[in-house]
Amino acid sequence: MAIKTNDFQHIEARPFAPNLGADIYGVDLSKPVPDDQFAEIRQAFLDYQVLFFKQQSEIPPDLHVTFGKRFGPLHAHPAAPTMDGHPEIFEIHATKDSKIANGEFWHSDVSCD
C-alpha cells in the first residue's frame, strides 16, 4: 500500500507508519463534526485503515456514540461493563486501587465475541 497524500481541506492526516494508520489533526470530537469534515475523516479511514485523533479534550459520551454511528451500527457487548445510558460504550478503566488493570497482560478489542 502506498502512502496517501494529504489532499484534505478540513482535516490534516499525517501517516503514522508506511503501511497503516494516520494521526488526524484539526478535528474537535467534543463538538458535532460537520458533514464536510466527516466526509474527509471517512476517506482518511478508507485510505489509512486506522486513525488516531490527536489533541482531543474529553469527548461527551453522547457525541462519542453519535460519531461512531456515522460509520455504521455500533455493537453493545452483552457481558462487558458499559457506561450508564450508553450501552455502546465499553468502559475500560483502572484506578490506583484496582486489583486488575484490564489489558495489562492480554488485550482484545472485542472483535470476536
- Sign of CA pseudo-dihedral 57, 10, 3, 42: positive
What pLDDT shows up at residue 59?
Answer: 94
What pLDDT shows up at residue 96?
Answer: 79
The cell numbers describing 100, all together, are: 486488575
Beta bridge partners of 13: 24
pLDDT-derived band at 2, boundaries 50, 70, 90 = very low
pTM of the model: 0.79
The pLDDT tens digits of the residues spanning 96-108 come to 787 766 666 655 5
**Four-point Cα dihedral 101, 113, 20, 13, nearest 10:** -80
H-assigned helices in the chain: 35-48, 61-69
The pLDDT tens digits of the residues spanning 38-91 come to 999 999 999 999 999 988 999 999 999 999 999 999 988 887 778 889 999 887
What pLDDT shows up at residue 82?
Answer: 83
DSSP secondary structure, 12-34, as one string? EEEESSSSS-EEEES--TTSPPP
What is the average per-residue pLDDT within 14-35? 94
What pLDDT shows up at residue 1?
Answer: 46
